Structure 1
Amino acid sequence: MPTHVPDQPVRRPVHDSPDPLESDPLESDPLERERAHLAASRTALRAMRQDVESLDIRDVTANWVNAEVLQHQIEARIEALADLADTPLFFGRLDRTEGARYYIGRRHVHDADGDPMVIDWRAPVSQPFYRASKRDPQGVELRRRFGYTGGELTAYEDERLTDPEEAERVSELLRREIERPRVGPMRDIVATIQPEQDEIVRAGIDGTVCVQGAPGTGKTAVGLHRVAYLLYAHRERLARTGTLVIGPNRSFLRYIEQVLPALGELAVEQTTVEDLVTDATGVTVRGTDDPEAARIKGDARMAEVLRRAVRSGVTMPTEPCVVVRGSRRWRIPAYELEEIVRELLDRGIRYGAAREALPQRIAHAVLVRMEQAGEAPDDRVQDAVARNAAVKAQVKAVWPDVDPAKLVLRLLSDADFLAECSEGVLTDEERKAILWTKPPRGVRSAKWSAADAVLIDEAADLVRRTPSLGHVVLDEAQDLSPMQYRAVGRRCTTGSATVLGDLAQGTTPWATASWAEALTHLGKPDATVEELTRGFRVPREIISYASRLLPHIAPGLSEATSIREAAGSLRVREVAADGLDGAVVDACRAALEREGSVGLIAADARVPVLAGALEDAGLPHTVPGPGGEETPGVRLTLVPATLVKGLEYDHVVLDEPAAVVDGEPDERTGLRRLYVALTRAVSGLTVVHAAPLPRALADPGR
């Protein structure tokens, strides 16, 4: 596998330069030929953009509404065709055995004649770039990878898949791309997707895929690239139904927000479960639950409690309904009205739909009597009867309207109502745990918790069906409660989902015990579960050290491996208690001497102390989360352990592992939190501690 990877952009020595009068330098220098193709491709991309910018739509639309829609589409297309100077237009080349040659890149580019100069990585013809091997060349003779420095093409590497003499090995350019310093938001992995990742990325849209991924296996990137692929392969369908990416918190969303735009997809909404349900219900989360109350509110049994609560207002008619039309009176007896109400209840349709159907059913009973009396009423008569004051009064008395927020407020405030709705479902102790000791005066004054908002969302769906999207990506799914899974599942009942997570990283009191259980709550029990265990991000020394915790936190999971070795990437340093803060600052200063981002991870309670120590030492830093501010150009981030999930840094300094464990309600959750913190590093991890390491981590024999 010949590799041409200079440390600096290639400069051919003067005595090696071909005589321009005797030969074309592009014919004798492969790198110059590739640079020429890159320049030509950029020129073609600019021409494509200019063609769109020059479109005149003044006389091609029927009205101003269509003109606005078309103009918006044109502007989106112009933005998608932007040529980003620091983003390689293509990263690979395929030479096929039949003589065809394709450049593989982030988007399609064609010349003035419409001939492709760069093929979109999602196109079927690009698939062998990721999956072809010497065992299965898939018609590829040569696969070429390109290396870039600051947007300039500086290297290439060839792999001849049909040459039996050439040994198969890990690509040097691939390794360099994976190890490239991480400064700023997460970037795409389109140039480094591996075969097992590509299979998941290109899985069909009609099926739900669950990815159990060990740290560093790229599960988040796989999920985002899957969205980009589905939008390419099923754009018209998803344009109608929509796509959504759901992450664990806003810091995580800020970290991943540039991946899809870099792939040319600008219209995918990204949110958290909390924001998803609060936006839908209109409530504001201002309160918090203790762990036990949150666990009970998140339990799937609450769905049955809410179902009973929603239907609790339905009463059986005791009086007949008398409809007056002209000089005639039509009487529907109470027993017949009761039959209609019971039939609607037994059908199990949503509360609101049944309430809307009830007046029509009563009106139909009136029409039957009219026909028996010799009249010939039509649909207009039935609609008029359904709007009759007597029918409306009957519906209001029998099937009252339900406000989801008011219903949940009553459920959590009224002990008798809660007991009635949860009989045989919750215990007395569980009811007491979720009942408000000081009920608020109303919905607006209530200090709703995140779990309460999910309950309101469930109640709202029992009344009115939640609109479904075409595809939903759910990341860090292992931390969701059953009720949160149901909230997400409602958004893709007629669509599909990509579920991403790691059972070993579950750190909530209600963390997922198994994917089979989680997918059932999501409403996708038949989803395919794929496991990624081959890591690319975390060096072997670090993942092996963190894996000492696996038997204690997730004994059924396979231990992750890594394709990367990095001697000296792990340092464990024990210091005196009175020197801990200074040692942590020294470790951060040493990490900053190397290239890339630095994450100082600490137990939440230690963050203010370490922030002060960093300020005293003159080390600028940022703190993610609602209380922190992001400062461009600052490479050091002080991260609370509770917010670090899903993030990654070139160098990590981990402060006092025992404090991370002690900051959780139980040891198992604490060890899982520690496992997350240990696996955030791409190049180096320094563990600084004064207290003894947790026994599970200190034991090398496991």
Structure 2
Amino acid sequence: MPAEPPILDAERAHLAESRAALRRMREHAESLSADVAADWVSKQFLESLLDQRVAALADHPDTPLFFGRMDRDGEDGPDLPAVMYVGRRHVHDGDEGRPLVLDWRAPVSRAFYQAGPAEPMGWRLRRRFGFQGGELTAFEDEPLDGGAEIGPSRILTEEIERPRTGPMRDIVATIQPEQDVIVRADLPQTVCVQGAPGTGKTAVGLHRAAYLLFTHRERLSRSGVLIVGPNRAFLAYISAVLPALGEVRVEQATIDDLLGAPLGEEPAAVSAAKGEARMADVLRKALWLHVRKPEEGLVVTRGVARYRLADHEVREIAAGLRGTTRYGSGRAAFAQRLAHQILVRMEQRGEAPDDRVQDQVARSKPVKQLLDQVWPKLTPEQVLYRLLSDADFLRTAAKGVLDEDEQAALLWAKPARSHRSVKWTAADRALLDELNDLIERTTSLGHLVVDEAQDLSPMQLRALGRRCGTGSATVLGDLAQGTTAWSARSWKEVLSHLGQDGEVTELTLGFRVPGTVLDYAARLLPHVAPELERPRSLRAGAGALDVRRVPDVVAATVEAAQEAFARAGSIGLIVPDALAAAHAAALAEAGLDAALLGPESDGTARLLVVPATLAKGLEYDHVIVAEPAAIAAAEARGLARLYVVLTRAVTSLTVLHEADLPAELAS
């Protein structure tokens, strides 16, 4: 509706007042000193906290401090103010302590997302604000007390459709009620989100992390929050979201960052076999097979006295510990129990040894020699190397778990000379992590956010589950977008491998992908994930889809990119991996400023050539897809990859092909 200048002037004045107050808050934080700390370590810690506080109070001119307002009748009360402005962070007047902007994560701010005519939650009016370049330009009022249905918000729709360049934006201004419920789920609760393309599942996961850090600041500052994404390009794309919300201490990593980068490759079938959860039983047995039955007793000399344990006593101690604890702590406990029995012998002779004597005995040469014979010190690499290179050892460890054909598939045809020279694959890295946890306990985080979780193997999921063993998780993904050899078929299985109990929420209503585009891509859904509900879009997207057969697909993509440059927004040219360099060269020859997206690139260029295998999780205003049939034919789950590629567009999708379209798409 047309803006009324007096109201806009008043709201702009409040924005100016809020920015001035935020500036004073930042100046005050900058003036604080860590010199009050009692020691050097405390000073360093305090300086780090102050630096983070200053960074969290940064004012970004192009980002509005608030995006909404709620009004109710009456005066300010102890629980509810009469008027509240909702924004990305809390801002207060330094002199009076009067709140000028309330953090969107505060409990009272929940009403901005959840209130409606059917349940106004004590409020009379919701006002949304429109901004351009940080300047407040419009507002839109939604009455909450009249009982009438509220129509689509023009400002909300425009914000969703606003052209995007560079990293992903936050969605605090556009969070929908069903998304808000997920975001505000309590910390102990593990949440699993099955989200169709464009439903904002990634943004919901990031905003839940920000909400939990706000609500459980002290607890999570100690235990930590980690975001796990599919690749570095994806992490670069989402990197700006949490800092924009004032959260600067959240770590981000890929599964390779956590487990170690793969150095070698292997057939997909072998990787899939190694990724199965059954391998956990094989690894456990393989590790404990290294504990040998003692063949002799123990003799310890102290001065002129000799103390002896019979071989059966040593066997009883080893048997009592075997398999009841982690391998590393079991080894240490074995040495201490041997030493304790020697101390018992000493006491029986009238001596009075203390704990220091027990530690000395545990570190003595006879105990160390027996320990190395019975309970040898091992690394994960040593165990896995023996398992995959020794047929007899693999047969023993895999008995009753893997059949002969499965064992033969795992066994290396030409083993490396030693475990130090092995080029471990991605599947191997997950096995090594499992072994490492069997030897020494993995440290647990307070909360873990896992995006594109459907593409992780059961063994990789177990590795992540160990990292939130005493915490909780937010699990995000889309079964229809599973593209790996071990892609999950159900979220129940994913949660089971993570070791988490959680509810699965399905988001099917899209906000970002136009309806015509989503309907076109959904032709593939019966072939990649027939059990999922067909996704829907809030946006009709008339004219958003253009499918063309062309005589020269490279020349046609150059022409389509030139046309897209004339419109606002980011452009993603998604192509088969093998043709990415050729398309990038053609764009450069045509004088177009384009960048080729790689696993480590930040993806900030306006026009990007995107290999199909890197497109997952990314989005662009205008997407050009070249040769869908080649994308589908490039890998075993190629139709799922094509489904991913076709759902990256926010404004328009152009599909160009020389060869016939895949039959599943053309039907």
Q: Which category of TM-score, normalised to the shorter sequence, fits these structures?
A: over 0.9
Matched, 1:67 2:43: yes
Number of the residue aligned with 2:546: 571
Secondary structure, aligned partner of 2:593: coil
Q: Normalising to structure 2: TM-score of the pair? A: 0.96
Number of the residue aligned with 2:631: 660
Deviation track 1:243-272 (CA, whole Å, cap 9, x = no partner) reads 100000000000000000000000100000
More displaced stretch, 373-382 vs 288-297: 373-382
Matched, 1:448 2:448: no
Matched, 1:683 2:651: yes
Report the AA paired with residue 150 of structure 1.
G
Distance (Å, rounded) in 2 between the aligned partners of 1:30 and 1:50? 30
Distance (Å, rounded) in 2 between the aligned partners of 1:51 and 1:647? 39
Report the AA paired with residue 89 of structure 1.
L
Q: Does the aligned pair in 2 maintain the 1:622–1:630 contact within 8 Å?
A: no
Number of the residue aligned with 1:559: 534
Matched, 1:386 2:362: yes
Distance (Å, rounded) in 2 between the aligned partners of 1:498 and 1:40? 37
* Aligned equivalent of 1:643, options 602, 614, 630: 614
* Aligned equivalent of 2:251, options 269, 274, 278: 269
Deviation track 1:573-594 (CA, whole Å, cap 9, x = no partner) reads 1223xx2222222222212211
Report the AA paired with residue 537 of structure 1.
R
Q: Does the aligned pair in 1 maintain the 2:457–2:487 contact within 8 Å?
A: yes
Secondary structure, aligned partner of 1:308: helix
Matched, 1:32 2:9: yes
Secondary structure, aligned partner of 1:335: helix
Matched, 1:138 2:121: yes
* Aligned equivalent of 1:528, options 489, 496, 503: 503
Number of the residue aligned with 2:79: none
Distance (Å, rounded) in 1 between the aligned partners of 2:155 and 2:419? 58
Distance (Å, rounded) in 1 between the aligned partners of 2:364 and 2:326? 24
Number of the residue aligned with 1:19: none
Q: Does the aligned pair in 2 maintain the 1:660–1:670 contact within 8 Å?
A: yes
Number of the residue aligned with 1:301: 278
Q: Does the aligned pair in 2 maintain the 1:219–1:501 contact within 8 Å?
A: yes
More displaced stretch, 300-309 vs 45-54: 300-309
Distance (Å, rounded) in 1 between the aligned partners of 2:424 and 2:73? 64
Number of the residue aligned with 1:588: 561
Report the AA paired with residue 418 of structure 1.
L
Matched, 1:149 2:132: yes
Distance (Å, rounded) in 2 between the aligned partners of 1:675 and 1:57? 53
Secondary structure, aligned partner of 2:226: strand
Number of the residue aligned with 2:264: 287
Matched, 1:320 2:297: yes
Secondary structure, aligned partner of 1:130: helix
Deviation at 1:527, TM superposition (A): 1.1
Deviation at 1:376, TM superposition (A): 4.2
* Aligned equivalent of 1:601, options 559, 574, 592: 574
Secondary structure, aligned partner of 1:92: strand
1:684/1:202 Cα in 2 relative to 1: closer, same or farther (>3 Å)? same
Superposition RMSD in Å: 1.6
* Aligned equivalent of 2:329, options 340, 345, 353: 353
Distance (Å, rounded) in 1 between the aligned partners of 2:296 and 2:169? 67
Between the aligned residues of both structures, percent identity stands at 57
Q: Does the aligned pair in 1 maintain the 2:513–2:648 contact within 8 Å?
A: yes
Number of the residue aligned with 1:340: 317
Deviation track 1:286-339 (CA, whole Å, cap 9, x = no partner) reads 211211111111111221221122112111111111122333322211111111
Distance (Å, rounded) in 1 between the aligned partners of 2:460 and 2:494? 10
Q: Does the aligned pair in 2 maintain the 1:660–1:674 contact within 8 Å?
A: yes
Deviation track 1:392-428 (CA, whole Å, cap 9, x = no partner) reads 2211111000011222223223333323322332233
Q: Does the aligned pair in 2 maintain the 1:188–1:262 contact within 8 Å?
A: yes
Deviation at 1:450, TM superposition (A): 1.4
Deviation at 1:387, TM superposition (A): 2.5
Distance (Å, rounded) in 2 between the aligned partners of 1:488 and 1:558? 28
Number of the residue aligned with 1:207: 189
Matched, 1:478 2:454: yes
Distance (Å, rounded) in 2 between the aligned partners of 1:79 and 1:287? 41
Secondary structure, aligned partner of 2:643: helix
Secondary structure, aligned partner of 1:559: coil
Q: Does the aligned pair in 2 maintain the 1:4–1:157 contact within 8 Å?
A: no
Secondary structure, aligned partner of 2:29: helix
Number of the residue aligned with 1:17: none
Number of the residue aligned with 1:113: 96
Deviation track 1:181-214 (CA, whole Å, cap 9, x = no partner) reads 0100001001100111011101010121111111
Deviation track 1:348-378 (CA, whole Å, cap 9, x = no partner) reads x110010010011112222333444444444
Q: Does the aligned pair in 1 maintain the 2:569–2:606 contact within 8 Å?
A: yes
1:239/1:631 Cα in 2 relative to 1: closer, same or farther (>3 Å)? closer
Deviation at 1:136, TM superposition (A): 0.7
Number of the residue aligned with 2:487: 511
Deviation at 1:445, TM superposition (A): 2.9
Distance (Å, rounded) in 1 between the aligned partners of 2:266 and 2:169? 36
More displaced stretch, 584-593 vs 497-506: 584-593
Q: Does the aligned pair in 2 maintain the 1:295–1:509 contact within 8 Å?
A: yes
Deviation track 1:500-543 (CA, whole Å, cap 9, x = no partner) reads 0000000001100111111111111x211111111101111111
Q: Which runs of 5+ in 2 are unaligned?
A: 76-81
Deviation track 1:263-283 (CA, whole Å, cap 9, x = no partner) reads 0000100000011111xxxxx
Q: Does the aligned pair in 1 maintain the 2:236–2:602 contact within 8 Å?
A: no
Distance (Å, rounded) in 2 between the aligned partners of 1:288 and 1:140? 59
Distance (Å, rounded) in 2 between the aligned partners of 1:618 and 1:431? 55
Distance (Å, rounded) in 1 between the aligned partners of 2:211 and 2:602? 31
Distance (Å, rounded) in 2 between the aligned partners of 1:391 and 1:305? 30
Matched, 1:615 2:588: yes
Q: Normalising to structure 1: TM-score of the pair? A: 0.91
More displaced stretch, 653-662 vs 216-225: 653-662
Q: Does the aligned pair in 2 maintain the 1:478–1:511 contact within 8 Å?
A: yes
1:585/1:57 Cα in 2 relative to 1: closer, same or farther (>3 Å)? closer
* Aligned equivalent of 2:108, options 125, 131, 137: 125
Report the AA paired with residue 369 of structure 2.
A
Distance (Å, rounded) in 2 between the aligned partners of 1:549 and 1:442? 47
Secondary structure, aligned partner of 1:330: strand
Distance (Å, rounded) in 2 between the aligned partners of 1:531 and 1:96? 34
* Aligned equivalent of 1:87, options 42, 63, 82: 63
Distance (Å, rounded) in 1 between the aligned partners of 2:505 and 2:313? 54
Q: Does the aligned pair in 2 maintain the 1:622–1:629 contact within 8 Å?
A: no
Deviation at 1:346, TM superposition (A): 4.3
Secondary structure, aligned partner of 1:193: coil
Distance (Å, rounded) in 2 between the aligned partners of 1:186 and 1:427? 47
Q: Does the aligned pair in 2 maintain the 1:623–1:630 contact within 8 Å?
A: no
Distance (Å, rounded) in 2 between the aligned partners of 1:587 and 1:184? 21
Deviation at 1:622, TM superposition (A): 1.2
Distance (Å, rounded) in 1 between the aligned partners of 2:326 and 2:307? 29
Q: Does the aligned pair in 1 maintain the 2:237–2:602 contact within 8 Å?
A: no
Secondary structure, aligned partner of 1:185: coil
Report the AA paired with residue 359 of structure 2.
D
Deviation at 1:694, TM superposition (A): 1.5
Matched, 1:243 2:219: no
Secondary structure, aligned partner of 2:124: strand
1:437/1:356 Cα in 2 relative to 1: closer, same or farther (>3 Å)? same
Secondary structure, aligned partner of 1:408: helix
